[in-house]
Amino acid sequence: MEKVRYEKRNRIGYVTLNRPEVLNALDDKINKELWSVWNDFDKDDSLDVAILTGAGKAFCSGADLKTFIPKWEKANMLDIRRNVPSGIGGGITRGQHRIFKPIIAAVNGHAIGGGFELALACDIRIASEKAKFGVFEVRYGLHQGDGGIVRLVAIAGLATALELSLTGREVTAEEAYRLQLVNRIVPHENLMATAEQYATMIIGNSQQAIRSAKETILDVVGRTLADALKLETINAYSSLGDFSEARERLAQFYARGKNAEKA
């Protein structure tokens, strides 16, 4: 691949946007490569978690407007409808958004425009102290179209979604944390190590339970309380399967407890 680096180590898929000369802007080529990456990650049984980051000083500066605007300025409604099944970032914003393996964003720098949408599409966001965020699309006659509004409302609430989307202002990592847009802020040099720590914690859990939990969280959004409670119960108990993994993990837990008592 030319514009995406994809490595596999210790059950982690490392996905790096690799267009540093244009701050990892997304064009058709990088989106196509990312689609293949996410499809492989989803199907590869040797991988449990992915970490997404950017090469150079930016996470992602959004859509490459030099190619994006010419592509869509003469588009018709049929072209737009054909675009619906496949969002930016290889589809994790829309199209491959129901990959139930966790995806961690290691936000190493600017995540603006579509890059902000891409970060919001990840399940956990770890930000470098150098990270910046913003709905910069509105500065150029556009607004979010790849899940940015939907996820901004869901993650940070209506007031924050309105303020950031209407002002188009830049948000520092510290403010992003206060607004619950990111889960952690760390020194820049500790970014990948922290993302790997989160990945390791996830890998240490039951993957069957993890994937069912992510699926359930995505499915309960927007449902009535009664429907959401019913769905959670069905998914939780059906994910146990024949209870063999639960029995094995409980046996290990009890064995550790007995060993601790003897010590």
d(CA 45, CA 101): 11
Choose the catalytic residue: 137, 145, 147, 199: 137
The answer to whether residue 117 is catalytic is yes
Token output for 103: 């995806």
Choose the catalytic residue: 25, 55, 58, 63: 63
Choose the catalytic residue: 114, 115, 147, 148: 114
Cα 233 from chain centroid?
25
Task: Give 158-227 as a DSSP string.
Answer: HHHHHHHHHH---EEHHHHHHTTS-SEEE-GGGHHHHHHHHHHHHHTS-HHHHHHHHHHHHHHTT--HHH
The answer to whether residue 157 is catalytic is no
H or E element, residue 237? helix 225-238
Choose the catalytic residue: 90, 106, 115, 117: 117
d(CA 222, CA 216): 12
Catalytic positions are 63, 114, 117, 137
